[in-house]
């Protein structure tokens, strides 16, 4: 075996020269651009939906379909877009208290004391803390029937609780809160159904 450099060496490739030769031929440049666009189109058309999610597909902003769990394809280049909605997971909104499941910034953007303070029917002030839990049953309705659905859920829930507490004496609110919860739940669900919030 010869350890000297007498054997054949692979040709040295100068990257700068190779790129320069590629750019001199406009057909090659166009082919490279088309190839890059095709690869990007194929990669952006494939998406995966988790088992707890549904994908709402829009074409030029108009609803087209809802896709369940699994791999799916859509028209690339922004023609079709997807919005992922968690449908199998319990969503919750906390009132008068910080909910660690939600974004940390919400702790500083909300006035928790004001949120929990309510006036009863006999003009006393009580502090009511509660959590609204809900499932999204219709992703299309959730996204398109009302603007800002999460904000609407918060606003409706808070208005209903203030109404229910305001219709009762302070003793009724403090000693029989389960009745307040049932009434607030029923009234909130009724309003959600009227607005078809999904």
Instruction: Give the pLDDT confidence score for residue 102 in this predicted structure.
Output: 59
Dihedral of CA atoms 62, 64, 66, 69 in degrees, nearest 10, equals: -110
Q: 148 falls in which pLDDT band (50, 70, 90)?
A: very high
Summarize pLDDT for 168-186 with one digit per residue, the tens.
Answer: 999 998 998 999 999 999 9
Exposed / middle / buried, residue 4 (Cβ in 10 Å: 0-12, 13-18, 19+): exposed
b/e per residue 134-154 (b: at least 16 CB within 10 A)? bebebbbebbbebeebeebbb
Domains, the chain, ordered by start: 15-86 (no CATH), 91-195 (3.30.479.30)
Strand, coil or helix: what is 94?
strand
Helix (H, G, I), strand (E, B) or coil at 28: helix
pLDDT at 13 over 70: no
Predicted local confidence at residue 14, as pLDDT:
73
CB 180 within 8 A of CB 164: yes
């Amino acid at each position: 075996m010869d350890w000297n450099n007498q054997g054949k060496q692979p040709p040295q490739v100068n990257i700068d020269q190779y790129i320069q030769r590629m750019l001199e031929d406009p057909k090659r440049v166009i082919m490279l651009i088309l190839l890059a666009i095709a690869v990007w189109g194929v990669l952006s058309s494939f998406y995966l939906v988790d088992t707890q999610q549904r994908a709402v597909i829009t074409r030029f902003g108009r609803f087209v379909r809802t896709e369940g769990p699994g791999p799916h394809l859509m028209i690339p280049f922004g023609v079709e877009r997807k919005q992922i909605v968690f449908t199998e997971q319990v969503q919750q909104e906390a009132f008068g208290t910080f909910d660690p499941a939600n974004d940390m910034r919400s702790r500083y953007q909300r006035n928790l004391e004001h949120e929990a303070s309510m006036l009863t029917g006999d003009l006393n002030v009580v502090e009511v803390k509660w959590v609204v839990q809900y499932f999204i049953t219709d992703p299309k309705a959730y996204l398109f029937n009302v603007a800002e659905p999460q904000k609407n859920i918060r606003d409706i829930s808070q208005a209903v609780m203030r109404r229910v507490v305001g219709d009762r004496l302070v003793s009724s609110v403090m000693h029989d809160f389960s009745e307040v919860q049932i009434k607030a739940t029923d009234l909130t669900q009724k309003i959600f159904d009227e607005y078809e919030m999904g």
